[in-house]
Amino acid sequence: MNLPNYISLFRIILIPFLILIFYLPHSVIGNFDKNLIATGLFILAGISDWLDGFLARKLQLESKFGAFIDPVADKLIVIASLVLLVELDRISALIAIIIIGREVAVSALREWMAGIGSAGSVAVAFVGKLKTTIQFVAITLLLYFEDIYLIPTRLLGEIAINLAAILTIISMLYYLKKAFARN
């Protein structure tokens, strides 16, 4: 265990808090505060994702456990957030299924390719990074869900999550094409 791995585990520990905040009674905390806290927790998770990778590279603390736990933590926080957004009726189940399905499919594809010695053929590509960035922005906006002055946060979140779903499909097809071209 090292600092980057602890940061990845911290991201997993944030998940129950992100979810439970919405189950607190309105007499304890109002909707605006729930949205604000959940958004803050999700942003904190995003920062911790960047930080653990940065520290692992900078301090040369990359490890097999870190290579395993970092993407697991990422996927868990995204999946938990998407399910929560479906429950809050902020996104459709179809969007969540597309994004979650892709995560499962690409993870399985990477595992399979690693098993046959071709892990590099499904390395993260620009389209995957773009999808992840837009997905992060979309989830952040949809968790916040309140307009910021004249900025229509809800509308921008809906546009971004739909774009993320389209990029999700494109990136999955890209990875599948690359994997099957190698075999």
pLDDT value, residue 122:
63
Mark the ranges of the chain whose per-residue pLDDT is less than 50. none
**In the chain, where does the domain assigned CATH 1.20.120.1760 lie?**
1-89
Give the predicted TM-score (pTM) of the model: 0.91
Give the integer Cα–Cα distance in Å for 56 and 63. 8
Q: What Å distances lie between residue 110 and 40, 119, 132, 183, CA to CA?
A: 31, 6, 17, 14
DSSP 89: T
Helix (H) or strand (E) holding 14: helix 3-20
pLDDT value, residue 24:
95
| C-beta atoms surrounding 44 within 10 Å | 15
pLDDT value, residue 181:
76
Question: Which CATH architecture does the domain made up of 1-89 adopt?
Answer: Up-down Bundle (1.20)
pLDDT value, residue 82:
97
| CB within 8 Å of 67: residues ≥ 6 apart | none
pLDDT value, residue 183:
61
Q: What is the pLDDT of residues 49-96, one digit of tens each?
A: 999 989 999 999 988 899 889 989 999 999 999 999 999 999 999 999
pLDDT value, residue 119:
61
CA–chain centroid gap for 143, Å, is 13
Phi, then psi, of 150 in degrees rounded to 5: -95, 5
Give the integer Cα–Cα distance in Å for 127 and 139. 18
